[in-house]
């Protein structure tokens, strides 16, 4: 398998893990505050990562790799808190679509600037992938009790855009940290992410019962960690834009799981986006 194929394949594994994490976390967030679900997953996965690194006595990578990873973990967790805030402010569809597009677009533009133009087929695949992400992440606007379509406030779009830039920057920082390995790099990122989540919980304590979130939080956190490890490997095999875009297709996995488990069927737009995503991945694998 060539490097592009390896990057796309590992990216798909990352997308599947992240999609599963979001599904499990979403189910847990129906019974407990979402930030508590995420924080518990971060804390448990950090303990597991530390146990593995210390148990097998992995050598520490260079401090600059750990710094890039920690910076990515910290700002990515803050971006997640901002994203949840944006979703709570109005109709979620447009905000989620904007965030999803910027998550993929920021590392794509960074890669084009630093790695140059990709091959023609790769460029077409990247363009198709961005369109696919827009279709997949755009959910129909909900209606209030008066049957009027909920609008998306400008502040929600601004916060959604800020979250998307933050998620995209995290993917770039993880790429910069990836030469330092995977386990210690991910441990550094997770430790910084735990610090960020604790700061958010102290600054904005969530409303609702502080119980019933550990099991789903642990499952979501482990799946998210596995997805991060696959992403770090993907960036070591190929271009950043290919790895980041394929990984950013993770909402398709969440949608498919929701359909299979909860019978929440995707819209025609989302189905079209998933079909387009398959075409994009095939082009990016060449």
Give the chain as a DSSP string: --HHHHHHHHHHHHHHHHHHHHHHHHHHHTTS-HHHHHHHHHHHHHHHHHHHHHHTTPPP--HHHHHHHHHHHHHHHHHHHHHHHHHTTS-HHHHHHHHHHHHHHHHHHHHHHHH----HHHHHHHHHHHHHHHHHH-PPPPB-TTSPBPP--HHHHHHHHHHHHHHHHHHHHHHHHGGG-SHHHHHHHHHHHHHHHHHHHHHSPPSS-S-S-HHHHHHHHHHHHHHHHHHHHHHHHS-HHHHHHHHTTTHHHHHHHHHHHH--PPPHHHHHHHHHHHHHHHHHH-
Look up the pTM and report it.
0.87
Give 21-68 as a DSSP string: HHHHHHHHHTTS-HHHHHHHHHHHHHHHHHHHHHHTTPPP--HHHHHH
Cα 39 to Cα 45: distance, rounded to the nearest angstrom: 10
| Boundaries of every domain in the chain | 3-141+149-285
pLDDT in the model for residue 93: 67
Show the low-confidence residues of the chain (pLDDT under 70).
Answer: 1-2, 4, 90-93, 139-152, 286
pLDDT in the model for residue 147: 47
Q: Which residue has the tokens 């359909």?
A: 259
pLDDT in the model for residue 278: 86
Q: How many residues does the chain have?
A: 286
* Residue pair 91/142 in contact by the 8 Å Cβ criterion: yes
């Amino acid at each position: 398998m060539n490097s592009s194929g390896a990057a796309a394949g590992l990216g798909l594994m990352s997308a599947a893990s992240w999609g599963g994490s979001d599904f499990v976390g979403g189910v847990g967030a129906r019974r407990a505050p979402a930030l508590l679900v995420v924080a518990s997953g971060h804390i448990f996965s950090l303990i597991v990562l530390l146990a593995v690194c210390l148990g097998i006595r992995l050598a520490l990578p260079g401090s600059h790799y750990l710094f890039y990873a920690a910076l990515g973990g910290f700002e990515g967790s803050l971006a997640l808190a901002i994203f949840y805030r944006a979703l709570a402010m109005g109709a979620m569809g447009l905000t989620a679509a904007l965030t999803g597009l910027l998550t993929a677009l920021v590392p794509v533009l960074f890669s084009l600037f630093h790695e140059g133009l990709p091959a023609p087929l790769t460029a077409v695949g990247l363009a198709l992938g961005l369109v696919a992400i827009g279709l997949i992440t755009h959910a129909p606007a909900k209606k209030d009790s008066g049957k009027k379509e909920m609008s998306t406030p400008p502040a929600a779009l601004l916060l959604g855009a800020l979250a998307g830039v933050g998620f995209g920057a995290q993917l770039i920082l993880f790429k910069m940290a990836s030469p330092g390995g995977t386990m210690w790099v991910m441990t550094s990122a997770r430790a910084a992410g735990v610090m960020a989540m604790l700061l958010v919980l102290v600054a904005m304590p969530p409303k609702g019962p502080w119980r019933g979130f550990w099991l789903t939080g642990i499952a979501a956190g482990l799946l998210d960690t596995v997805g991060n490890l696959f992403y770090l490997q993907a960036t070591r095999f190929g271009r950043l834009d290919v790895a980041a875009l394929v990984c950013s297709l993770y909402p398709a996995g969440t949608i498919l799981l929701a359909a299979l488990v909860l019978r929440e069927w995707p819209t025609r737009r989302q189905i079209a986006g998933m079909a387009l995503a398959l075409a994009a991945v095939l082009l990016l694998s060449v």
